[in-house]
Amino acid sequence: MSDAKRSDVTPQANPPQRALTLHRELTAVWSDLPGWRGVLASVNHTTIGLRFMATAGVFFAIGGVLSMLIRAQLATPRGAFLDTALYNQIFTMHGSIMMFLFAIPMLEGLALWLLPKILGARDMAFPRLSALGYWCYLFGGTIILLSLLAGVAPDGGWFMYTPLSDKTYTPGINADVWLLGITFVEISAVAAAVEITVTILRCRSAHMPLSRMPLMGWYMLGTSVMMLVGFPPLILGSILLEMERAFGWPFFDVARGGDPLLWQHLFWLFGHPEVYIIFLPAAGALSTIIPVMSRTTILGYGAVVAAVLGLVFLSFGLWVHHMFTVGIPHMALAFFSAASALVAVPTAVQVFAWIGTIWKGRPQLKLPMLYVLGFFLTFVMGGLTGVMLAIVPFNWQAHDTAFVTAHLHYVLIGGFVFPLMAALTYWMPLICGRARVPKLGEAAFWLILIGFHGTFFIMHLTGLLGMPRRIDIYPDNPEWVLPNLVSSIFSMVLAMGFALFVFDMVMQWFFGALSRRNPWQAPTLDWAMALPAPAYNFASLPAPGRDDAAAAVPLARGEGILPGAPRGWRETLVVEPGSGRPDHIAVLPDNTILPLATAAVIGSFFMLMLAGIYWLTPVAIMAIVLVVWRWGMVMGTGQDHAPVHAAPGLPLPLHWQVRGTLAYGGAVATLVADGSLYACLLFGVGFLSVVAPGWPAPESGLTGVWPAVLVAVALGAMAVGSVTARLAEAGRGGDLARQRALLGVAAGVLALVALAGLALLLDDPRRHARDALRGVLLGFAVVHGVIAALLALRTYADARDGRMGPSRRGATPVWRLWQDFALATTAVSALLVAGQELF
Amino acid sequence: MRWVVGMMAGPVLWAVLFAAVYALHGIGCAWGWTGVAAPFGSLHIVAMAGVWLAGLVLHVGILAAAPKGPAREARLHRMGAWIGLVASGLTLLPVLLTSTCG
C-alpha cells in the first residue's frame, strides 16, 4: 500500500505512554528560551499571540485616553483644553491607533494564539513570520506613538485624504509618519494573513474536513483572505502618496493629471472591507461561545458558512458608499447603495443563527454571555444605522456628521469590542490557568454598557442636529451643548468600565484560584489540554475518535498522532486542504532572533525614508536582502529522511521531501496579496486615464525602436527564467540543477539590465500622472525581477550545498511560481503602455 | 476541494461582473457612449446590460450545475451559487433603472 493511500485510512491509536514523560520531552523542544533571550527569540504561537494581544491592549488604552481628551474638549462649546492643531493630531491618532494598532493586531493575536489550539495543531504554519509580524507591529506602532510625543503626529484624519495630506497642505512630516508607520504595521498584517490562511487550510487535525471544522476556522479563513486582498490597496495608496510627497510624482495632483479621488478609492477599497475584517473574527468568537453558553450546538452551520462567504465577497462592493458626496454619477451610486443594503442580509443570517442557538439551548448568564448580549444590543443598532447610511439621500444629509461617528462606534465597539471581551473572559482560564474573581467582571460590563450607550446613542441626535465631525469648538450652536455634555459625562463612565475590566483581568491572572480543566464544558479542541496551555498544545495530535475536548487525557498520554518529540524537532501534522487527509510532517523552526533582526532592518528603511535620507535607503534594502537570505540558509536539509510513523500504519514523509509544503502555500498566498496590489495599480491607471481631469497626457518620449527592443529582451529573459526554473526542479540536485539555476540567475540579471535601460527612456515622472504611473509599473517589474533572480540564486546555493536531491526540491517550486508571476505582470504592464502609445 | 471552488464560483462571478459593469460605466461616461445609438437604447446601456445579462445566464448555469442532495458540501455549493446570482441580480439592477452619467 502506498503512503498516500495509507494516510486515507483512519489512523490507529498509538500505545499510551506516561504523560509526564511526554510533557517534559515536548516542553524541552517547544519552550521559549529562558530570560531575555526568550523575549527576543521566541517564535511560539502562544507567546507571540499573547504579546500581540497585550500590546494591542496597551494601544487600546492609549487610544482610549486620547478619546477622553477629545470628549473633554467637546464637553463645552468653547473648550480651551486643546488647541486646534493638537486636537487635529489627537483625533487622527485616536482613529489610527484604534484601527491599525488595536483592532487589527488584536484579531491577529487572537488568531495566532487560538487557531492551532482549536484546529488541533502544535503551532502556526510559519512561526518566524508570526514573530516578524509582531516586531514590525511593535516598531511601527512605536514610531507612530513617538510622533505624538514629539508633536509631529499625523493630523489629517485617520483616512488621510488628499490634498489635505499632500506636501502643500501638510508640509511637515506628520503625514509621512502615518504613511510610513502604517505601511510598516501593514507588513505585519499581511504576514499574519498569509500564515492564518495556510494554517487553516493545512494545519488541522487529521481527517478534519473543511466542511466540519469549527466555525472559528471559517471566520478566520474569511478574514485572512480579505486581508490578503484588502490591505494591498492601502499599501499601494500609501506608497503612491509617499512618492508624491517625497519625489513629486503627481498621482493625486489635479494640475498634473492626478486625482484626489484615486486616494479615496484606494483607501476605502481597504477601509470598508476592513470593517468586516474586524467583525469576522469577533463573529467567530461569538459562534464558538454562544453554543457553549447555551449548552447546545450552533444552529445552521451551513448557513453561517454561506453568510461568511457572502460577507467576504460583498464587503468588497461597498467602498464607494464612503464617497457618496463626491459627485459620482447616480448609476454608480445605485450599484454601491444596493450592495451596501444587501450586505445586511448575511449579517442578519448570522444574528438569527445566534439567536436561534440561544433559543434552542439552555442559556447560562455567565460573564461571557453578558458581553454577548451587549453585542446583540449594540451591533444590531449599528447595523441598522448602517442600512440608513447605505441609502444615498440620507447619506447626503448625514455625511461627515456626528451621526456617522456614532454609527461607526456602534459597529466597531458592538461588533468587535463586546465580542472580544466575551472572548477574553471565555478563554482567560486557558491563557492563565486561573478562574476569575467573582463580581468584578459583571460590574465592569454594566459600566461599559451604560457608558457606551450613554456616550454614543445621543451622538446620533447630535449628528442629526448637524454637528460635523472633527470640530474642536462650536460656540454658535447652543443646540449641540447638552448632547455633547451628556456624551462626555458617559464617556468617563465608559472609561471607568474599561479600566475595571483590565483590573479584573489582572486580578484573575495573578490572584485567581486555579481553574479546573475545561471550566465551560466546551466541546472544542482548545480545551483538550492542560491549563494554562502548554507550549506544544498537544502531547499527541488529535485524530478521528480523539478530536474533541473529551480526548484530553488520551492525547496527553500520546494516543493521538505524532506523540512527543522523539527526534528533538518541532513537528506538526500537515493535511490536505479539503479533506484533512494527513499529507506530511512539517518540521518547524526553533527559537531565533532572525525575525527581530529582519524587523529592525526593515524599520531602518522606514526611518531613513521618514528622515528624508533617501540616498542611504539602498543600504537598508541591501541589509534586508542579506537578513532575508539568512532565513533561507537555516532551512533545508542535506540528506533524505525516512518517513515518520505518526501512528500505527501511518508513515508520513517530512516536508523537505514533498512539493506541496507549507512554504509553497505561503508563496501562493503572498502572490494573492501581490496580485491584489498589482490589480489596484491597474485600477489606478484606468481610473486616472478615464476619469481624471488633465488628460490626455503630454506627448510621450517612448518613441523609436529601443523601448520595444528593451521590453522584448526583458520579457524574453523572464521567459527563459521560467523555463529554467522548471528544468532546475526537474533536474533536482547535482550539477544539472546548479547549471540551470545559474542560467536562471543570468536571465534574471539580463532582464534587470533591460528594465534599467527602459527606465532611462521614460519621461520625467514628475511631469504628469501617466509618466509617474509608468515609473511605478516599471518599478513593480524591477522589484519582482530582483526577487526572481534572488530565488534563482537561492536555488543555485541549495543545489551547491546539497540541500537539493532526488526527493528534495529546495526553493525551486517557489522560484518557478514567482518567476511566472513576474513574467505575467511585466507582460501585462508592457501591453498596457503599448496600448496607451497606440491608442 | 472541488466543492470549495464550486461554492466560490458564484461570488467570484459576481465580483467580475460588478467590476466589469462599473468599469464600463466609467468608460462609457468618459467616452460619450450615452450619445451613441444602439439597438434597445444607447451604446452605454446596451454594453452594461449585455454584460450583466450574460453574467446572469452564467449564474443560472452555475446554479444548475451545482450538485443536488443533502450533503453539507453540496448545500454549501448551492448556497454559494445562490449568493452570486442574487448579488449580481440586485446590485447591478440599476443598469436598467437609473440615469447613467448624471
Provide ipTM, 2 decimals: 0.96
Single-letter amino acid code for the residue at A61: A
Residue A699 phi, psi dihedral angles, 5° rounding: -60, 140
Q: Do A339 and B1 make contact, defined as CB atoms within 8 angstroms?
A: no
Which of A308, A326, A335 to mutate to test binding with chain B, by most B CBs within 10 Å of its CB? A335
Contact A691 B101 (CB under 8 A): no
Confidence band for A704, pLDDT divided at 50, 70 and 90: confident
- Which neighbouring-strand residues pair with A84? none
- Of A313, A335, A687, which has the smallest distance from its Cβ to B92's Cβ? A335
Of the candidates B7, B25, B87, the beta carbon closest to that of A342 is on B87
Q: What angle do CA A590, A596, A601 make, to 5 degrees?
A: 135
pLDDT band at A703 (very low <50, low <70, confident <90, very high): confident
**Interchain pair B23, A686: CB under 8 A:** yes
| Contact check, Cβ <8 Å, A690/B92 | no
State the residue for C-alpha cell 506544544. Answer: A536
Model pLDDT, residue A234: 96
Q: Which of B14, B25, B87 sits opposite A331 (nearest CB)?
A: B25
Is B79 close to A334, i.e. CB distance below 8 A?
no
pLDDT in tens, A458-509: 999 999 999 999 999 999 999 999 999 999 999 999 999 999 999 999 999 9
pLDDT tens by residue, A367-422: 999 999 999 999 999 999 998 998 999 999 999 999 999 999 999 999 999 999 99
Q: How far apart are CA A244 and CA A247, in angstroms?
A: 6
Chain A: nearest CA to B61, how far in angstroms? 19
CA distance B65 to chain A (A): 18
pLDDT digits (tens, 9 = 90+) for A650-667: 999 999 999 999 999 999
pLDDT at A634 over 80: no
Q: Is A157:A95 a contact under the CB 8 Å cutoff?
A: yes
**Helix and strand counts by DSSP (H, E) for chain A:** 27, 4
pLDDT at A80: 87
Burial class (CB in 10 A: 0-12, 13-18, 19+), A1: exposed
Q: Which of B3, B30, B83 sits opposite A691 (nearest CB)?
A: B30
pLDDT band of residue A1 (cuts 50, 70, 90) is: very low
With an 8 Å Cβ cutoff, are B87 and A310 in contact?
yes
Chain-wide mean pLDDT for chain A? 94
Cis-peptide into A532, omega within 30 deg: yes
In this complex, which of A301, A334, A686 lies closest to B98 when CB atoms are compared?
Answer: A334
| A330 closest CB neighbour out of B3, B11, B99 | B99
Which of the 8 DSSP states describes residue A527? G
Mean pLDDT, residues B51-61 taken together: 98
Q: Looking at residues A103-114, what average pLDDT do you find?
A: 97
CB A492 within 8 Å of CB A51 = no
Query: Are the CB atoms for A201 and A263 separated by under 8 Å?
Result: no
A835 at B interface, C-beta within 8 A: no
User: Is A70:A90 a contact under the CB 8 Å cutoff?
Assistant: yes
Give A 564-623 residues with CB within 8 A of chain B: 577-578
Please give, rounded to a whole number of angstroms, the shortest distance from the CA of B48 to a CA of chain A. 11
More reliable by pLDDT, A357 or A328 = A357
Q: Are A422 and A286 in contact (CB under 8 A)?
A: yes
- Give the mutation candidate from B13, B29, B52, B91 for the A interface (greatest A CB count, under 10 A): B91
* pLDDT average, residue stretch A126-149: 95
More confident residue, A735 or A535: A535
Q: Do B83 and A310 touch (CB under 8 A)?
A: yes
Alpha helices in A531-612 (DSSP H): 552-556, 594-611
Query: How far is residue A366's CA from residue A489's CA, in Å, rounded to a whole number?
Result: 29
Instruction: pLDDT band for B99, please (50, 70, 90 cuts).
Output: confident
Distance from the A583 Cα atom to the nearest Cα atom in chain B, whole angstroms:
15
Asked if pLDDT for residue B29 goes beyond 60, the answer is: yes
Whether residue A584 contacts residue A574, with contact meaning beta carbons closer than 8 Å, is answered with: yes
* Chain A residues closer than 8 Å to B100 by CB: 329-331
pLDDT tier at A639, thresholds 50, 70, 90: confident
Q: Is the pLDDT of residue A11 over 90?
A: no
Residue A806: band (very low, low, confident or very high) from pLDDT cuts 50, 70, 90: confident
- Closest Cα in chain B to A581: B1
Q: Sorting pLDDT into bands at 50, 70 and 90, what band is A737?
A: confident
The answer to whether residue A339 neighbours chain B at the CB level (below 8 Å) is yes
pLDDT of residue A9: 62
Q: Are A301 and A350 in contact (CB under 8 A)?
A: no
Interface of B with A in 68-87 (CB under 8 A): 72-73, 75-76, 79-80, 83, 86-87
Residue A688 has pLDDT above 80, yes or no: yes
A690 in B contact zone (CB under 8 Å): yes
Looking at residue B12, its pLDDT comes to 97
**Is there a contact between B11 and A303 if contact means CB atoms under 8 Å apart?**
no
User: In this complex, which of B29, B30, B83 lies closest to A306 when CB atoms are compared?
Assistant: B83
Res. A7 pLDDT band, cuts 50 70 90: low
- How far is Cα A126 from Cα A123, in angstroms, rounded to an integer? 8
Closest chain B residue by Cα to residue A691: B30
Q: Using CB atoms, which residue from B79, B87, B100 is nearest to A306?
A: B79
Question: Once rounded to an integer, what is the mean pLDDT over residues A283-290?
Answer: 98
Q: Answer whether B94 touches A (CB < 8 Å).
A: yes
Least confident range of A2-6, A497-501, B88-92: A2-6
Residues of B in contact with A686 (CB under 8 A): 23, 26
One-letter amino acid at A35 equals: G
Looking at the DSSP assignment, which residues form a beta bridge with residue A651? A645
Interface of A with B in 223-262 (CB under 8 A): none
- Beta carbons of A161 and A184 less than 8 angstroms apart: no
Given the DSSP bridges, would you call strands B41-42 and A650-652 parallel, antiparallel or unpaired? unpaired
CB-based contact, A481 to chain B, within 8 Å: no
Per-residue confidence (pLDDT) for residue B41, from 0 to 100: 86
Contacts of B5 (CB under 8 A, 6+ apart): none
pLDDT score at A677: 98
Average pLDDT over residues A558-566: 95
Nearest to B25 among A313, A332, A342 (CB): A332
Does residue A687 sit at the B interface (CB-CB below 8 Å)?
yes
Coil vs helix vs strand at A644: strand
Residue A694 Cα distances to A261, A412, A776, B37, angstroms? 14, 39, 19, 28
The answer to whether residue B97 neighbours chain A at the CB level (below 8 Å) is yes
Residue B91: list chain A partners with CB under 8 A.
317, 335, 338-339, 342
* Residue A550 pLDDT exceeds 60: yes
Q: How far is CA A286 from CA A251, A282, A561, A694, B99, in A?
A: 42, 6, 30, 50, 43
Residues A603, A624 contacting (CB under 8 angstroms): no
Answer yes or no: is pLDDT of A5 > 60. Answer: no
Angle separating helix axes A215-247 and A301-314, nearest 10 degrees: 10
Pick among A331, A350, A672 to test the B interface (most B CBs inside 10 A): A331
pLDDT confidence of residue A187: 87
Distance between CA atoms of residues A290 and A319, nearest Å: 31
Q: Is A253 left (phi over 0), alpha (psi -120 to 50) or beta?
A: beta
B95 contacts A211? CB cut-off 8 A? no
pLDDT band at A731 (very low <50, low <70, confident <90, very high): confident
Residue A308 has pLDDT above 80, yes or no: yes
Give the span between the Cα atoms of A319 and B74, in whole angstroms: 32
Q: Which residues of B touch A687 (CB under 8 A)?
A: 26
List of residues 6+ apart from A260 with CB closer than 8 A: A161, A162, A163, A252, A254
Question: How far is it, in rounded angstroms, from Cα A761 to Cα A707?
Answer: 7
B20 interfaces chain A, CB cutoff of 8 Å: no
Question: Would you state the pLDDT for residue A805?
Answer: 86
Q: What is the CA radius of gyration of chain B?
A: 16
- Is A116 a residue whose pLDDT tops 80? yes
CA distance A479 to A717: 70
Counted across chains A and B, CB pairs separated by less than 8 A come out at: 98
pLDDT at A2: 43
Taking the mean position of all CA atoms in its chain, how far away is CA B46? Answer: 14
Rounded distance, CA A197 to CA A213, Å?
14
- Residue A4 confidence class, pLDDT cut points 50, 70, 90: very low
DSSP state of A715: H
